[in-house]
Chains A and B, each alone.
Chain A
Amino acid sequence: MVSAYTPPVQTLIDELGRLPGIGPKSAQRIAFHLLKLPSADVARLAHAINDAKDKVRFCERCFNVAEGALCPICADDRRDATVVCVVEESRDIVALERTGEFRGRYHVLLGAMNPLEGIGPEQLKIRELLTRIDAEGITEVILCTNPNTEGEVTAMYLARQLQPLGLTVTRIASGLPVGGDLEYADELTLGRALEGRRPVDDG
């Protein structure tokens, strides 16, 4: 089929259409919106994309996204170097940081084990985690992978690798969301919440 658009427009639509969650129709809408914008706005967007792509890389220590060699969290001396929280993606760090509960460092695996997709320990940053343990004097590793099958398998695999090193290995608890209703909870989550119950101390 011959394209109805001039080649530059068609190229733009095609490129936009390759972005996640953007279909041909959305790509077309965004392309025409960009064409309507003042050149300065478009240049700013193009610059932002280029800039991010040029400057951002993975932190040498924890594989979080970083501007320099280390990410802001690893570069912060006030954080506790003895506790490391293992997550699947950089996005998870943002979620955990929002809690304000964690003062240690992170380690990003860049994925989770998924044998059916051929993602095994070698494809993840597991070896890098193991080398960090001694080098940084880590005493506790918190396994914060997602509570789904892949995440659980990854956590169990990591626990098996870490336990012989003689440090505390913990798994984040799973339970009911705050503000939720017990009657709508699924049995797996509710079962886990019961399993992980704790004594009430009225401090």
Chain B
Amino acid sequence: MSELYRDSGVVLRTYKLREADRIVVLLTAANGKVRAVAKGVRKTRSKFGARLEPMSHVRVLLVRGRELDIVSQAESVEPLSPMLSSLDRASQGLAVLEAAEQLSLEREPNPDLYRMVVGAMRAIAERPAPLTVAGFYWKLLASEGMRPELDMCVRCGGTEPEVAFVAFDLGEGGVLCRSCRSGHPMSAEALEAVRDILGGRLAKALAMEESAVTHEVSLLATHALEYHVERRMRTVAMFE
């Protein structure tokens, strides 16, 4: 019954439980989303309480339980302090966690998602670029099988340079030319940025300075993700 296992994971969120305990929701590498009780972590003298805050990346030793597992040990893989060093980093980190929580399933391993969350967290800790969260959202959609069509009008099949793409339709899942346009209008620069993100040129997109284009790409990414998970992304709205 008391089966011990090791895994590493990112803490997605925590709930208070009883007097001094916490339920932590972890996105693990090998076990998907895991909910576990961390005992006594709200006491000042707790040995690993500080490592189980949202956004922490930890290696954990867990005891399998019926409903909830129990955290037996936890050690940091990466320090949490850079994430809490500025409001931009913290809000971006939370926006990533919110999306990851929506798209992960309990006990359903999703190593790609785990890798992407860890990667996004690292990128944010290093430099919170204007397009980090948008980049994560677009890549997340692509890996969930919702990769948008960016090179062909989703209605008439027209391609560049014969037609120019001027809009993005969430329901159709791709770009549209001038004569078929519906959904959100999309500038050529924004389309280029999304192509960079999904075409293996993420570094180029992350190097962009904050501008109307990064704003457009971020907004579209949030809308696309919200359309897919059918829920509002609350963190993004809160810090705008």
Contact = CB atoms under 8 A, between A and B. Distances in A.
Interface of A: 21, 113, 115-116, 118, 120-121, 148-150, 152-153, 156-157, 159-160, 177, 180, 184, 186-189, 191-192
Contacts of A153: 84, 87, 90-91, 94
Contact of B54 (A21, A149, A187): A149
Interface in B212-240: 234-235, 238-239
A70 B87 CA distance: 33
B55 A149 contact: yes
B57 interface: no
A186 B84 contact: no
Contacts of B54: 116, 149-150
Contact of B81 (A21, A121, A184, A191): A191
B197 interface: no
Nearest to B41: A148
Given A153-B91, A191-B81, A192-B81, A115 B98 contact: yes
What band does the interface of chain B fall in when counting residues whose beta carbon is under 8 Å from A? 20 to 34
Interface stretch (B42-50, B147-155, B181-189): B42-50
Contacts of A113: 238
Interface of B: 13, 18-19, 44-45, 47-51, 53-55, 76, 79-81, 84, 86-87, 90-91, 94-95, 97-98, 101, 234-235, 238-239
Nearest to B80: A188
Nearest to A195: B81
B97 A152 contact: no
A92 to B, nearest CB: 13
Main SS at interface, chain A? helix
A118 B234 contact: yes
A187 B76 contact: yes
Contact of B50 (A116, A180, A186): A186
B87 A157 contact: yes
A24 to B, nearest CB: 16
Given A115-B238, A116-B234, A156-B86, A186 B94 contact: no
A152 B94 CA distance: 12
B53 A149 contact: yes
Given A116-B97, A149-B54, A152-B90, A184 B47 contact: yes
A156 B85 CA distance: 9
Nearest to B76: A187
Contacts of A157: 87
B79 A191 contact: yes
A75 B15 CA distance: 36
A148 B53 contact: yes
A177 B45 contact: yes
Contacts of B81: 188, 191-192
A123 B92 CA distance: 21
A152 B79 contact: no
Contacts of A116: 13, 54, 94, 97-98, 101, 234-235
A115 B234 contact: yes
A195 to B, nearest CB: 8
- The winner among A121, A186, A192 for most chain B CB atoms within 10 A is A186
Contact of A21 (B18, B76, B87): B18
B125 to A, nearest CB: 14
A89 to B, nearest CB: 12
B79 A187 contact: yes
10 contacts: A21-B18, A21-B19, A116-B94, A148-B53, A149-B53, A156-B84, A177-B44, A186-B51, A187-B76, A188-B51
A186 B90 contact: no
Given A149-B90, A187-B76, A189-B50, A115 B235 contact: yes
